[in-house]
Amino acid sequence: MIYQGNAITVVRGDDDIATLTFDLQDESVNKLSSAVVTELDEAVKALQGESGLAGLLLTSAKEAFIVGADITEFQAMFGKGGDFLESMLVRVHGIFNAIEDLPFPTVTAINGLALGGGCEVLLTTDFRVMSESAQIGLPETKLGILPGWGGCVRLPRLIGADNAVEWIAGGTQNRADVALKMGAVDAVVPAEQLEAAARDILARAIAGELDYRARRAEKQQPLKLGPIEQMMAFETAKGYVAGKAGPHYPAPVEAIKVIQKGAGEERARAQAIESKAFVKLAMGEVAFNLVGLFMNDQVVKKKGARYEKQARPVKQAAVLGAGIMGGGIAYQSASKGTPILMKDIKDDAIELGLKEARKLFAKQVERGKLTTEKMAERLTNIRPTLAYGDFGNVDLVVEAVVENPKVKEAVLAEVEAEVSEQTILTSNTSTISITRLAQNLKRPENFCGMHFFNPVHRMPLVEVIRGEQTSDAAVAATVAYARAMGKTPIVVNDCPGFLVNRVLFPYFGGFSLLMEQGADFARVDKVMEKFGWPMGPAYLLDVVGLDTAVHAGEVMAEGFPERMGSLGGGAKGEGDSQSAIQMMFENDRLGQKNAKGFYAYEEDRRGKPKKVRDEAAIELVKGVARESREFSDEEIIARMMVPLCLEAVRCLEDGIVGSPAEADMALIYGIGFPPFRGGALRYIDAMGVDAFVALADDLAKELGALYAPTDKLREMAAAGERFYDTRNQAPAQA
């Protein structure tokens, strides 16, 4: 035994080959936490002190090789400042370089997933053998940082600058055959032959058949690139990647610059360039928020997994209604392997639902993601019907008929009589209280909300809504089914708008107030898109549908009259003006569905709706303006964001949602809240709760209750509290 730690052991074999095994105790995966890095340091020192060794094999005793650095340590680490980070990087470079410089040949046996720091470790050895099912990659840019432990230096020297740019800027996870083709690994073998193959390479290197010193030198020298290659690999890539990532995600382009600047340098200089860029990114707010997002996603996934454990699995599902949502739900269920009955009352509706599903499957075939045979097989997972005949063995029903409480109540009571006593009933309603819909049911405990977003196949969120009488078993089964459909379920309590629409409508309220004061909606859209939203509020209203928005606005107005009263029918009394949203609706401008709303819609060459300026809409909106005020970008952002963020705070305070993590993830997954901003509550944290309260108070003086902070938020501000861990202060923008 050369070294024994909690995560790493190094043993010496009879053949003088040392085997370093990663096997982090009490964990299911290997991670390079700071404790493990310290062990690696000790293990390498022990290897350096051992005389007469002939070679080194790096390996893992877990299913994955190493999944990466320990991301849960990042925020605290980034918060310690640039000098700390710099010295951490210098230290790790020292350890990794020491592996690379060992006086004998080295090889890694990549048995499973090797990502981030886990991938950077295996780049230090002279050779790599990979199991057929393993994958490797450097996904750091997705977290707003870049590979900082030598990945930006070693990978391009191994697979070429152009390939490395693709892997690093794209953060891709790469299959073994691709890794082999590009030269990232030397051989790919079946799992059971992995260790023998790795040892064979070592033996050949020891015997002088393979020149390990030459391989090593390649990784440490400047990259050999002509001016044209430089141009192609870097300049073209920078333009392309910048366009794709957008201005809010600086890491991918920064990574390309690091590869470019380091290309002509020796190892030490190139690593110093990498470290400097890493520190700059890690100290910025985007990295802080994206790392926070990763951790929030873990919280949500873990909660989901906990529910799933208690759930009765859904082997057969059913959906009522084959419309936009029902068709989408049927497709999604079938495509992920849960058979589903699709019932409607109209033949042509069923035809339409099936046509939509076929179209989506065909797209998958076109993109090479599905074979035609598989498509045929998956399509048979959808069984259309006009009758309840087969409902006796259905485990879970999603009701997605028209948004009318009377129709829904009747349909739910009807289906309850056709299913077994264990069957879980759910409703995809957007606006009707789940507790109310349960009133007519014989088994209200078996009922909850299952709120999908449009388009179902694309939107990751499913809100699972617990009514007053909903049982844990119903919630668990619904969560499990949503996960089986590849969605991210978030459990919330019942209230008007549930979580996501309740938070979204005050944002529309902010928009209406801006219109009343004479703001230009196209400009508001532009400002909010620049802020990071996938579409501005007017455009979003057109996509949602103005009729739907007016209806939902009425529900919200009824639910929260004090602050959302004006979201509904517009004119409330004398002197009250009509909202721009109401004005659109009353003039039969329903949005994309009838090709006219705040914008007019034309079909583009691919048959997709393209928005164009429409004078008639502009005139109508002018009609609701009581003044013609000019707003700065900052004012527009504040007037739009403050009501949304405040409602998220209220949902948390009212127990509608269980944690800041779930609230923020629901907004990101459900309505496209800009991910790099981390969510509404993290946005308040970033501003500082006290600064946010001051801003809201200021606006409330002029604009009323929609902008008034809650008492508890004031208390938080006074006490210097935050929504997320106070130890992890967001660093100032670098």
Nearer to ligand NAD, 401 or 668 (CB): 401
Whole-number Å distance between alpha carbons of 176 and 190: 11
Nearer to ligand NAD, 74 or 453 (CB): 453
Chain residues 633-672 in contact with ligand NAD, contact rule CB under 6 A: none
Choose, by CB under 6 A, the member of 45, 224, 306, 346 that binds ligand NAD. Answer: 346
CA 668 to the chain's CA centroid: 8
Whole-number Å distance between alpha carbons of 321 and 425: 14
Nearer to ligand NAD, 55 or 384 (CB): 384
**Applying CB under 6 A, does 349 fall inside the site for ligand NAD?**
yes
Helix (H, G, I), strand (E, B) or coil at 53: coil
Task: Single out the residue of 734, 731, 718, 716 nearest to residue 660, CA to CA.
Answer: 716
Terminal alpha carbon distance of the chain: 46
Minimal distance in Å, beta carbon 314 to ligand NAD? 19
**Applying CB under 6 A, does 386 fall inside the site for ligand NAD?**
no
**Applying CB under 6 A, does 332 fall inside the site for ligand NAD?**
no
Site size toward ligand NAD, by CB under 6 A: 24
Whole-number Å distance between alpha carbons of 705 and 564: 8
Minimal distance in Å, beta carbon 549 to ligand NAD? 11
Whole-number Å distance between alpha carbons of 246 and 204: 48
Choose, by CB under 6 A, the member of 55, 116, 326, 709 that binds ligand NAD. Answer: 326
Choose, by CB under 6 A, the member of 39, 120, 344, 525 that binds ligand NAD. Answer: 344
CB 127 within 8 A of CB 108: yes
Q: Is 93 a catalytic residue?
A: no
CB 502 within 8 A of CB 612: no
Nearer to ligand NAD, 484 or 555 (CB): 555
> Judged by CB under 6 A, which stretch of 267-275, 319-327, 461-469, 649-657 contacts ligand NAD?
319-327
Whole-number Å distance between alpha carbons of 730 and 687: 10
Choose, by CB under 6 A, the member of 400, 499, 514, 538 that binds ligand NAD. Answer: 400
**Applying CB under 6 A, does 98 fall inside the site for ligand NAD?**
no
Q: Is the peptide bond before 103 cis (omega within 30 degrees of 0)?
A: no
Task: Single out the residue of 210, 86, 187 nearest to residue 128, CA to CA.
Answer: 187
Minimal distance in Å, beta carbon 453 to ligand NAD? 6
**Applying CB under 6 A, does 203 fall inside the site for ligand NAD?**
no
Minimal distance in Å, beta carbon 555 to ligand NAD? 11
Whole-number Å distance between alpha carbons of 651 and 452: 19
Say which DSSP state 139 is in. G
Whole-number Å distance between alpha carbons of 627 and 155: 60
Cα distances (angstroms) measured from residue 11 to each of 55, 205, 383, 438, 656: 12, 20, 59, 64, 54
Token representation of residue 326:
């029902």
Nearer to ligand NAD, 454 or 517 (CB): 454
In DSSP notation, 216-237 reads HHHHHSPP---HHHHIIIIIIH
Minimal distance in Å, beta carbon 356 to ligand NAD? 10
Residue in the structure block whose two tokens are 């068709």: 327
> Judged by CB under 6 A, which stretch of 248-256, 291-299, 316-324, 601-609 contacts ligand NAD?
316-324
**Applying CB under 6 A, does 320 fall inside the site for ligand NAD?**
yes
CA 395 to the chain's CA centroid: 29
Choose, by CB under 6 A, the member of 428, 435, 577, 728 that binds ligand NAD. Answer: 428
Nearer to ligand NAD, 401 or 522 (CB): 401
> Judged by CB under 6 A, which stretch of 54-62, 176-184, 320-328, 658-666 contacts ligand NAD?
320-328
Choose, by CB under 6 A, the member of 23, 42, 200, 403 that binds ligand NAD. Answer: 403
Minimal distance in Å, beta carbon 595 to ligand NAD? 17
Minimal distance in Å, beta carbon 343 to ligand NAD? 5
- HSE (CB half, 13 Å, CA atoms) of 73? 13
Whole-number Å distance between alpha carbons of 223 and 206: 27
Q: Walk across the sheet containing 424-427 and list its strands.
A: 382-385, 340-343, 317-320, 396-399, 424-427, 447-452, 461-466, 488-493
CA-based max dimension of the chain: 95
Task: Single out the residue of 531, 645, 544 nearest to residue 590, CA to CA.
Answer: 544
Chain residues 504-563 in contact with ligand NAD, contact rule CB under 6 A: none
Minimal distance in Å, beta carbon 464 to ligand NAD? 14
Amino acid at 231: M
User: Which of left, alpha, beta for 76 (phi over 0: left; psi -120 to 50: alpha)?
Assistant: alpha
DSSP E strands, 393-444:
396-399, 424-427
Minimal distance in Å, beta carbon 551 to ligand NAD? 9
Active-site residue, selected from the candidate residues 93, 248, 451, 457: 451
Chain residues 446-465 in contact with ligand NAD, contact rule CB under 6 A: 452-454
* Residue sitting closest to ligand NAD (CB): 323
In terms of residues, how long is the chain? 734
Minimal distance in Å, beta carbon 406 to ligand NAD? 11
Chain residues 47-76 in contact with ligand NAD, contact rule CB under 6 A: none
Choose, by CB under 6 A, the member of 256, 354, 411, 686 that binds ligand NAD. Answer: 411
**Applying CB under 6 A, does 402 fall inside the site for ligand NAD?**
yes
Cα distances (angstroms) measured from residue 24 to each of 344, 623, 718: 53, 67, 43
Token representation of residue 71:
């991301």
Nearer to ligand NAD, 53 or 413 (CB): 413
Nearer to ligand NAD, 308 or 344 (CB): 344
Choose, by CB under 6 A, the member of 5, 68, 105, 323 that binds ligand NAD. Answer: 323
> Judged by CB under 6 A, which stretch of 3-11, 247-255, 342-350, 618-626 contacts ligand NAD?
342-350
Choose, by CB under 6 A, the member of 322, 434, 527, 644 that binds ligand NAD. Answer: 322
Minimal distance in Å, beta carbon 418 to ligand NAD? 12
Binding site for ligand NAD (CB under 6 A): 320-326, 343-346, 349, 400-403, 407, 411, 428-430, 452-454
Give the active site residues: 451
